[in-house]
Structure 1
């Protein structure tokens, strides 16, 4: 049996599929991963066949402050939609040629289900966050291309979702249905319903990020798809951590960091009596001085690192949030885009950290939030919460898929 796994997005979108692919391989299935070209070399280290799709994703990691300037005109948005749908269909059609099922993650994959229908193979849609699926219990994630801000707590979720779904239809219905007609398939009335399918999967921890309608049998939630990491931490980092004094981690992964974040973080961390570990990420963050209380690292084992720091300051991506929760370390979430606002709310609601007010911290605001999460009672809640995080989500999903295929 052959499985095609496909996603469009950042490292946080690709890594869960690598985790699932690894589990499927262990069960004897053949897998192929389709993702942006940025991740080809990394995926190759797992000996997973890789098919690049679309332009490099790193180009989209633009500073949030420039979002309005980068927002495309309606005409340009239509052009981008047509091009994206065409490229997806061409690449995925080739990649799915000998596959028995197509598993797609993220709602940007407009053509994936059409490819599966044309090939006559099953299609599985997977969300990485409950907020990506329509529900009256939460607002839709703000759309970065439209420069949307997070919805206020008083907003009507039904009206917000109706507007969101109208925008998706307005943008993608015409190019998608033109493609479907050209390949002999009937047009769709609702693009979002078509993408999500009537039985979506939710690869998120059921306690950290629960589907709000727990008794809903149409959403399968096995837990987050975690990729085990056995790498040792670099010797320089280990020496820094052991040199004495608590450390705070700051990293924004493949999301562009707010302007001046590193200088702000260094001053705030010093104000609360800690030292600083900075992850360069895609920002890239670079040291502002050669002070002995700050170290900058590249790609390292976050699972090992997060358990050795006093707090984790990050953007609120699903993977980073789950990893910090599993480490039992208090979090400060400074959300920038999309589902990061959801995870900021959840961390705050669970009492395992705080959501920073706004996307651009000042020394004063970050110092205040750090002071709050470094309290002993927050650390105790974070440690206790770590015990309820599921670590078998990818295995459960792989077994379900294998059973469904009769493999």
Structure 2
């Protein structure tokens, strides 16, 4: 069976697809992954034995450049729909399956290709805020804020349909009409389908689903969400020798890294992080990432590392300070290491709130760019014995079989 996995996003979108691809190959499927052309993505896929079908512009170049003007969004959306439709159409086949996640227009393009081929289509969410539910608010696009007076979740999700149509309806339906497909009035629900998958850990992110009439189940068609567990790519790479030497040279350091977030004020963020960690009497390990965090004074208590095996690293640090991506949050939780989340966008505020609610870390609540003072307060709380004990206790409950379960569900 041929399976095409499709995504357009950062490493947090691509690596779960690599994890699923690996499990699908173990079960005998022929797998291709359509994803952005960034070299780091192709490298991770190659390590899993999966070829990349490059689609669209480099994500790193896109997010590191000037923010796009609102007037450019329709053109960008239309381009993604067309690019992913063409790529998936060329990579998939009749009787196979297409699994898509990432930016909405890319998912819509992949779905259109699956429809034309008669292939099975599965829409996957790597975080819950994109899926309609009577239990949480929809994600809010800055250019389409919801009225402050509307607080009913059912009403907000109805407004969300209009938001998604306004943002993506023309791009999606113009393309669908051009290739001979129907034009749905509600592009959100058409693309999500009535049975989307949620690839998150049920302990970190329990999906309650619609309940009885009190949740609106009687007058709202909520999707039937299938939660598989997080798709975790096993990482057996050893840590670099110089990093291992730094770890062995003293007490466990605090890791600070913002992954695929470029951070417009990165030099100030690095300086603030170093000062905040030192205020706790700890050494500092900076993850360079797309923010390009760098040493601030060359002192021996600070070490900078590039892309590294976080599964091996996080159990050896005292705390993890990060942006709040789903993958980093799950990896730190598996390690039993306290976290400080400094959310930047999209689902990251949600993960910050979950970590705080679970007591396994702290949500930085003083804006997207931490100061030495605000980060020191959060770190002080994260490094308490209570938080460490709670993080260690919860770690054993994190599932590691999500990708395997998803692969069996897809091929079963």
**TM-score between both structures, scaled by the size of structure 2:** 0.91
More displaced 10-residue stretch of structure 1: 320-329 or 158-167: 158-167
Cα distance change of structure 1 residues 155 and 280 upon mapping to structure 2, 3 Å threshold: farther
Task: Give structure 2 stretches of 5+ with no counterpart.
Answer: 212-221
Aligned to 2:83: 87
Instruction: Describe the SS at the equivalent of 1:394.
Output: helix
Q: Tell me how far 1:105 sits from its aligned partner.
A: 1.2
Q: Tell me how far 1:400 sits from its aligned partner.
A: 1.0
Aligned to 1:393: 402
Q: Residue by residue, what CA displacement relative to the aligned partner does 1:116-161 show, whole Å, maximum 9, x if unpaired?
A: 11001110011011112112311223436x4979x99994434443
Picking from 297, 302, 308, the partner of 1:289 is 297
**TM-score between both structures, scaled by the size of structure 1:** 0.92
C-alpha distance in 2 between matches for 1:33 and 1:59: 20
Q: Residue by residue, what CA displacement relative to the aligned partner does 1:41-97 show, whole Å, maximum 9, x if unpaired?
A: 33223221211111000123349xx7xxx35234x2222222222222222211224
Picking from 228, 234, 242, the partner of 1:236 is 242
Confirm or deny that 1:187 pairs with 2:183: yes
Aligned pairs, number: 395
Aligned to 1:105: 101
Picking from 385, 388, 391, the partner of 1:382 is 391
Aligned to 2:217: none
**Equivalent residues in 2 for 1:323-362, closer than 5 Å:** 323-357=331-365, 358-362=367-371
Picking from 253, 262, 267, the partner of 2:270 is 262
**Equivalent residues in 2 for 1:6-405, closer than 5 Å:** 6-38=6-38, 39-62=41-64, 70-74=67-71, 76-97=72-93, 100-108=96-104, 109-143=107-141, 146=143, 155-213=151-209, 218-257=224-263, 259=265, 260-357=268-365, 358-403=367-412
Q: Is the 8 A contact 2:77 2:168 kept in 1?
A: yes
Q: Is the 8 A contact 1:61 1:282 kept in 2?
A: no
More displaced 10-residue stretch of structure 1: 336-345 or 163-172: 163-172
Q: Residue by residue, what CA displacement relative to the aligned partner does 1:368-391 show, whole Å, maximum 9, x if unpaired?
A: 000011000100000000011001
Q: Tell me how far 1:258 sits from its aligned partner.
A: 5.3
C-alpha distance in 1 between matches for 2:158 and 2:201: 27
Instruction: Describe the SS at the equivalent of 1:261.
Output: helix
Cα distance change of structure 1 residues 133 and 384 upon mapping to structure 2, 3 Å threshold: same
C-alpha distance in 2 between matches for 1:52 and 1:71: 22
More displaced 10-residue stretch of structure 1: 251-260 or 32-41: 251-260
C-alpha distance in 2 between matches for 1:148 and 1:235: 49
Cα distance change of structure 1 residues 217 and 25 upon mapping to structure 2, 3 Å threshold: same
C-alpha distance in 2 between matches for 1:34 and 1:271: 45
**Greater relative contact order structure (CA < 8 Å, 6+ sep):** 1
Q: Tell me how far 1:299 sits from its aligned partner.
A: 1.2
More displaced 10-residue stretch of structure 1: 46-55 or 171-180: 171-180
Instruction: Describe the SS at the equivalent of 1:42.
Output: helix
Q: Residue by residue, what CA displacement relative to the aligned partner does 1:287-321 show, whole Å, maximum 9, x if unpaired?
A: 11211000000111101111011100000000000
- CA RMSD in angstroms, aligned pairs only: 2.2
More displaced 10-residue stretch of structure 1: 243-252 or 135-144: 135-144
C-alpha distance in 2 between matches for 1:245 and 1:49: 41
Q: Is the 8 A contact 1:107 1:195 kept in 2?
A: no
Task: Give structure 1 stretches of 5+ with no counterpart.
Answer: none
Instruction: Describe the SS at the equivalent of 1:307.
Output: helix
Q: Residue by residue, what CA displacement relative to the aligned partner does 1:92-116 show, whole Å, maximum 9, x if unpaired?
A: 2112246711000135222111111
Instruction: Describe the SS at the equivalent of 1:348.
Output: helix
C-alpha distance in 1 between matches for 2:148 and 2:240: 43
C-alpha distance in 2 between matches for 1:90 and 1:46: 25
